[in-house]
């Protein structure tokens, strides 16, 4: 379960950002997680709920996860399509000259804080 390692990294980043901005309390952290990023949102949330209890600045912080759909682009017919449904093969022309244009990302989108 690599989600725990990801949560530790997110917590470190959020704490660094809070220190740089003299923030004393984090209310929530919003993540964008790609549909094919290999991160399971429910595991991420479970790890978050366990890990934040160990950090005063994050004790009550919620984790909000937005899933970004995976989209693939076909170089032959310029079609964009659902990656999970069709895989590497373009449903319009049958080409495999395709590449993923979104859906494997994982990043912190927003940190909501309590004003000092």
Is 15 a domain residue? yes
Residue 52: give its domain's CATH number. 3.30.2320.50
3-state secondary structure of 79: coil
Is 85 a domain residue? no
Is 76 a domain residue? no
Is 89 a domain residue? no
The count of structural domains within the chain is: 1
Domain of 20? Answer: 3-69+103-113
Element holding 101 (H helix, E strand): strand 98-102
Yes or no: say if 18 and 112 are a contact pair by the CB < 8 Å rule: no
| pTM for the structure as a whole | 0.90
Q: What is the pLDDT along the chain (116 residues), one digit of tens a residue?
A: 599 999 999 999 999 999 999 999 999 999 999 999 999 999 999 999 999 999 999 999 999 999 999 999 999 999 999 999 999 999 999 999 999 999 999 999 999 998 76
């Amino acid at each position: 379960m690599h989600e725990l390692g990801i949560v530790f990294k997110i917590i470190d980043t959020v704490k660094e950002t809070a220190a740089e901005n003299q923030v004393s309390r984090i209310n929530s952290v919003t993540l964008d997680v790609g549909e094919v990023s290999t991160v399971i949102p429910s595991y991420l949330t479970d790890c978050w709920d366990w890990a934040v209890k160990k950090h005063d600045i994050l004790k009550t912080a919620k984790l909000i996860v937005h899933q970004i759909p995976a989209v693939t682009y076909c170089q032959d017919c310029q079609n964009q399509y659902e990656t999970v449904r069709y895989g590497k093969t373009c449903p319009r022309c049958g080409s495999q000259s395709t590449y993923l244009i979104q859906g494997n990302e994982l990043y912190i989108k927003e940190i909501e804080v309590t004003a000092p």
